Structure 1
């Protein structure tokens, strides 16, 4: 294992929407054992890493040494969208770690119906935040609109990890291509989802509503923000 094992373990657990206690039950340990592993205060044997990987449905080599992808090619194929559905063109974030301004930032201009229009040509680059170090395709989105105030204000930059799966009670950006052939997005709180619909929440004005997944097929997770105020 390398020094980033603890981070990968927590990333995989959160991606599977598991608590530390739930993971501990699956591998026959108590919650404190998982907590110590995720804090980096304790290592794990090869055999125990294999059990963790199986419980989290991730590849053992990735969990132990970050070799290859987190999930198998078969599972990735099931998660990926069809090629004819819009997916943003993103710059691989794992090549941009350092002190340079390497994180691409895209602009979100106001559109109709609370949507924003995205142009996937970077308007600027910012220093890579720790939360996106090593993340393929990580990017920033300069926000406009006030539907998510006070969580997100116009002029702030959302930090986005496009590789994490949808997760309830997390902020997400949903994308589609409009009838005008424009790349549109909405940033909302993901309350829940099923095979057909996203259940969403916005704050200003407060409301909960649903969107069809077929209409908004691309979902990226917001993992932080830069506050410009």
Structure 2
């Protein structure tokens, strides 16, 4: 069959028995791909916890251990070893974050690593749940701001009875 093709295209006898230029490179690239290897997601699945659990003043390791997790998110390396997810409720962070969105939280971020415009989760004594807002730092003062320009409370001053719960490091949205 190869001889008939060679003759039909005016190629020399045996031409199709030898690799020629471009085809050789293509074969080489194809040999570098191992189709039997599975693509794996790196890291651990991320537990989704409640806003009440996130706002508790217990160490996060205890909170996650003692919380019954009903939902898990795909891995996110930016969450750190104690990372978890929260389900966005309300419209204070609209339009960027919608109710039902899942956000990834890294609770291991240190306060001194935070910068203006970071998205954070903060808990304050006397409140039953944590809150999700944008951080504003002006000198020694820290403020929280919703992303929704129509939200009634545009600037919330952080007081001594508030603490950083974690930094938002990702978004997971179901479509």
Q: Same fold (TM over 0.5)?
A: yes
Higher gyration radius (CA): 2
| DSSP-derived class of the 2:78 partner | helix
Structure 2 counterparts to residues 68-83 of structure 1, below 5 A: none
- CA distance, structure 2, for counterparts of residue 220 and residue 118 of structure 1: 10
Higher relative contact order (CA 8 A, sep 6+): 2
CA contact (8 A) 2:43 2:77 kept: no
Pair 1:160 & 2:105 matched: yes
TM-score of the two chains, using structure 2 as the length reference = 0.57
Corresponding residue of 2:36: none
User: What's the Cα RMSD here?
Assistant: 3.0
For residues 126 and 117 of structure 1, do their structure 2 counterparts lie closer, same or farther at Cα, with a shift above 3 Å needed? closer
Match of 2:155 among 204, 209, 212: 209
Corresponding residue of 1:178: 126
Q: What is the CA-CA distance between 1:152 and the residue it aligns to?
A: 1.0
Higher strand share: 1
> Aligned pair count?
121
Runs of 4+ with >6 A deviation: none
Deviations 1:12-48 (A, max 9, x none): xxxxxxxxxxxxxxxxxxxxxxxxxxxxxxxxxxxxx
Unpaired segments ≥5 residues, structure 1: 1-96, 110-115
Corresponding residue of 1:192: 137
Corresponding residue of 2:51: 108
- CA distance, structure 2, for counterparts of residue 117 and residue 104 of structure 1: 12
TM-score of the two chains, using structure 1 as the length reference = 0.45
Deviations 1:182-210 (A, max 9, x none): 3x211111121554x42122133245313
